[in-house]
């Protein structure tokens, strides 16, 4: 790698590292930067605030951005000023979200409807609102939009188009809607802006100043006001209406299952498995060539044993096309074997190989005792005789101690640090462990997909079959070869390595 590329890589690594560093460690948790801010808003954009901005989204969709923005500006100006003109109003703020409108004084509501329907095309654009049974101020909306008719069912598609535009809270359309919500409040004089400059940025949006700076500022302020500003009644009622809206969408429309990606095996499975299988004989040959004694040789037995065991795992992972769940589990097991093997070599302590071996025998004794004394229903996969023979292998079972916990009195992560292979731990142990433990993300990844109906808020639905798309075949081969490298270091020379046979 050239020096320039190395520096670029280091820069990238530094950037990545800073993302983890920006988390704050509290006990065993890493707290994300956003959650370190006190009094963070818990009203979600998609769940609670987006439904309130549907009228603005529908206008953007139906009239085009320029015309819609001008209507938002008109509403912002007139509603804001009208709010300011009357003292001791019942409503605290001129909120123009679909729920917020229902909390406004009558004169403000009437002004809103008058302004929005001055544009003739607004009727068609806003027509999908008639679909919503729980619509606040339904009577007022229906004066302009008419009653819901049977043929209006097709309007769910327009509603879905609008919502898909707004699901991303930072999209241009979402930001426009969030500005539409904010602008009457700004004009009402109920908010203290930093200075004249900020006032102009809001009032003249999106034509004044650098929008890369203005847009985030609008979103941040909308989040505060849309959240209710400690107005508990507004907060809870708005949540109820939003919840009802999403329930209706689910009830009235069907899920949309995305087409599963086509999955094909990207290597010649049969030829690869046959070729990797031949390494068993090569390993056996090398074992015989380097064997001088017949007494117990913990290091030798373990070193070759790791390789044969890794070969078995690799073959099974490959035979499952590298794509099945078991291929990921094979990767995790290979990573553990590699780290353990490298750790034993790195420490250079001959006695440690005995500890490793004796721990295993102790586990066999413990299992044997449990089969004998504890378990009434014997599991089919263990043969008691076999376990007894394993436990008795080196010394009589009666003299075998049983160690509890990790065999090396440490954990695999620390072992990988000591052995200088933390990269393998990070790349091949941590994530496959999620699959081994059945953690949520693994479960979600394999069995669920996201419904593509925007009216369903990107919820999860079961796939027609498990997701078998990511191939682990290259990683299986890589780890297996790394284990063979270790054997070559301690019992040279073993140069044979595994490889994938291409599909031709």
Q: Which is nearer to Zn ion, 64 or 258 (CB)?
A: 258
Q: Which is nearer to Zn ion, 167 or 191 (CB)?
A: 167
Q: Which of 31, 143, 240, 255 binds Zn ion (CB under 5 A)?
A: 255
Minimum CB separation from Zn ion for residue 368, in Å?
Answer: 52
Segment interacting with Zn ion, rule: CB under 5 A, options 24-32, 170-178, 180-188, 451-459: 451-459
Minimum CB separation from Zn ion for residue 440, in Å?
Answer: 19
Distances (CA, A) of 280 to 101, 291, 304: 75, 16, 11
Segment interacting with Zn ion, rule: CB under 5 A, options 132-140, 221-229, 253-261, 298-306: 253-261
Are 136 and 127 in contact by the 8 Å Cβ rule? The answer is no
Three-state SS sequence of 53-96: HHHHHHHHHHHCHHHHHHHHHHHHHHHHHHHHHCCCCCCCCCCC
CA–CA distance, 438 with 126 (Å, rounded to integer) = 46
Minimum CB separation from Zn ion for residue 456, in Å?
Answer: 3
Minimum CB separation from Zn ion for residue 97, in Å?
Answer: 25
Binding mask 397-436 for Zn ion (x = CB under 5 A): ----------------------------------------
b/e 159-194 (16+ beta carbons within 10 angstroms → b): bbebbbbbeebeeebbbbbbbbbbbbbbbbebbeee
Minimum CB separation from Zn ion for residue 154, in Å?
Answer: 19
Distances (CA, A) of 218 to 35, 197, 221, 320: 20, 14, 5, 52
β partners of residue 26: 29
Segment interacting with Zn ion, rule: CB under 5 A, options 12-20, 117-125, 155-163, 449-457: 449-457
CB atoms within 10 A of CB 449: 17
> Per CB under 5 A, does 456 bind Zn ion?
yes
Q: Which is nearer to Zn ion, 103 or 453 (CB)?
A: 453
Q: Which is nearer to Zn ion, 256 or 308 (CB)?
A: 256
Helix (H) / strand (E) element for 145: namely: helix 138-145
Q: Which is nearer to Zn ion, 320 or 453 (CB)?
A: 453
How many residues touch Zn ion under the rule CB under 5 A: the total is: 4
Segment interacting with Zn ion, rule: CB under 5 A, options 36-44, 232-240, 252-260, 412-420: 252-260
Q: Which is nearer to Zn ion, 235 or 448 (CB)?
A: 448
Provide the 8-state DSSP code for 1. Answer: -
Minimum CB separation from Zn ion for residue 379, in Å?
Answer: 41
Q: Which residues contact 156 (CB under 8 A, 6 or more apart)?
A: 128, 131, 252, 253, 455
> Per CB under 5 A, does 246 bind Zn ion?
no
462 φ/ψ angles, rounded to the nearest 5 degrees: -65, 140
CB atoms within 10 A of CB 69: 20
Q: Which residues contact 121 (CB under 8 A, 6 or more apart)?
A: 62, 63, 67
Q: Which is nearer to Zn ion, 131 or 451 (CB)?
A: 451
Q: Which of 145, 337, 451, 484 binds Zn ion (CB under 5 A)?
A: 451
Kindly write down the DSSP assignment for every residue of 217-236, as one continuous string: HHHHHHHHHHTTTT-HHHHH
Q: Which is nearer to Zn ion, 460 or 474 (CB)?
A: 460
Q: Which of residues 151-180 bind Zn ion (CB under 5 A)?
A: none
CA–CA distance, 443 with 462 (Å, rounded to integer) = 11
Write down the residue that tokens 């989040």 correspond to: 223
Minimum CB separation from Zn ion for residue 136, in Å?
Answer: 25
Segment interacting with Zn ion, rule: CB under 5 A, options 80-88, 136-144, 230-238, 251-259: 251-259
Segment interacting with Zn ion, rule: CB under 5 A, options 248-256, 413-421, 463-471, 476-484: 248-256
> Per CB under 5 A, does 458 bind Zn ion?
no
Cα four-point dihedral sign 263, 264, 265, 266: negative
Minimum CB separation from Zn ion for residue 45, in Å?
Answer: 19
Minimum CB separation from Zn ion for residue 451, in Å?
Answer: 3
Segment interacting with Zn ion, rule: CB under 5 A, options 272-280, 299-307, 434-442, 450-458: 450-458
CB atoms within 10 A of CB 442: 18
Minimum CB separation from Zn ion for residue 473, in Å?
Answer: 34
Minimum CB separation from Zn ion for residue 94, in Å?
Answer: 35
Chain residues binding Zn ion by CB under 5 A are 255, 451, 453, 456
């Amino acid at each position: 790698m050239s020096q320039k590329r190395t520096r670029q890589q280091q820069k990238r690594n530094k950037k990545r590292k800073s993302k983890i560093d920006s988390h704050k460690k509290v006990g065993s948790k890493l707290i994300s930067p956003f959650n370190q801010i006190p009094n963070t808003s818990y009203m979600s954009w998609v769940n609670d605030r987006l439904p309130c901005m549907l009228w603005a989204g529908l206008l953007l969709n139906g009239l085009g951005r320029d015309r819609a923005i001008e209507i938002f500006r008109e509403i912002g100006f007139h509603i804001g000023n009208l709010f300011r003109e009357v003292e001791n109003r019942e409503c605290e703020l001129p909120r123009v979200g679909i729920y917020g409108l229902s909390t406004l004084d009558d004169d403000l509501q009437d002004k809103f409807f008058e302004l929005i329907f001055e544009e003739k095309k607004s009727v068609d654009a806003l027509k999908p609102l008639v679909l919503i049974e729980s619509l606040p101020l339904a009577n007022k909306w229906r004066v302009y939009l008419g009653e819901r008719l049977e043929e209006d069912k097709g309007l769910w598609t327009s509603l879905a188009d609008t919502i898909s535009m707004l699901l991303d809270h930072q999209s241009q359309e979402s930001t426009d809607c969030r500005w539409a919500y904010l602008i009457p409040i700004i004009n009402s004089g109920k908010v203290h802006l930093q200075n004249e400059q900020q006032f102009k940025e809001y009032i003249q949006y999106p034509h004044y100043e650098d929008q890369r700076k203005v847009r985030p500022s609008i979103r941040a302020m909308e989040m505060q006001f849309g959240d209710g500003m400690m107005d508990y009644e507004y907060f809870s009622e708005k949540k109820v209406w939003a919840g009802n809206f999403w329930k209706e969408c689910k009830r009235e429309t069907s899920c949309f299952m995305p087409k599963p990606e086509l999955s094909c095996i990207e290597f010649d499975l049969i030829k690869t498995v046959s070729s990797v299988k031949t390494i068993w004989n090569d390993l056996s040959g090398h074992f015989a060539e380097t064997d001088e004694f017949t007494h117990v040789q913990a290091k030798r037995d373990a070193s070759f044993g790791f390789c044969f065991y890794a070969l078995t795992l690799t073959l099974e992972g490959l035979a499952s096309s590298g794509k099945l769940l078991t291929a990921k589990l094979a990767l995790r097991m290979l990573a553990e074997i590699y780290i353990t093997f490298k750790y034993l070599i790195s420490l250079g302590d001959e006695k440690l190989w005995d500890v490793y071996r004796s721990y295993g025998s102790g586990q066999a004794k413990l299992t044997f005792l449990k089969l004998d004394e504890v378990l009434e229903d014997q599991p089919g996969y263990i043969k008691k005789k076999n376990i007894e023979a394993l436990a008795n292998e080196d010394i009589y079972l009666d003299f075998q101690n049983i160690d509890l916990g990790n065999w090396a009195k440490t954990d695999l992560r620390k072992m990988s640090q000591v052995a200088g292979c933390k990269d393998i731990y990070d790349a091949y142990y941590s994530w496959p462990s999620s699959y081994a433990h059945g953690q949520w993300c693994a479960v979600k990844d394999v069995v669920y997909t996201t419904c593509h109906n925007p009216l369903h808020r990107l919820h999860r639905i079961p796939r027609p079959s498990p997701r078998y798309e990511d191939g682990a075949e290259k990683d299986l081969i890589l780890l297996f070869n790394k284990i063979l490298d270790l054997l070559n270091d301690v019992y040279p020379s073993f140069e044979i390595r595994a490889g994938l046979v291409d599909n031709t």
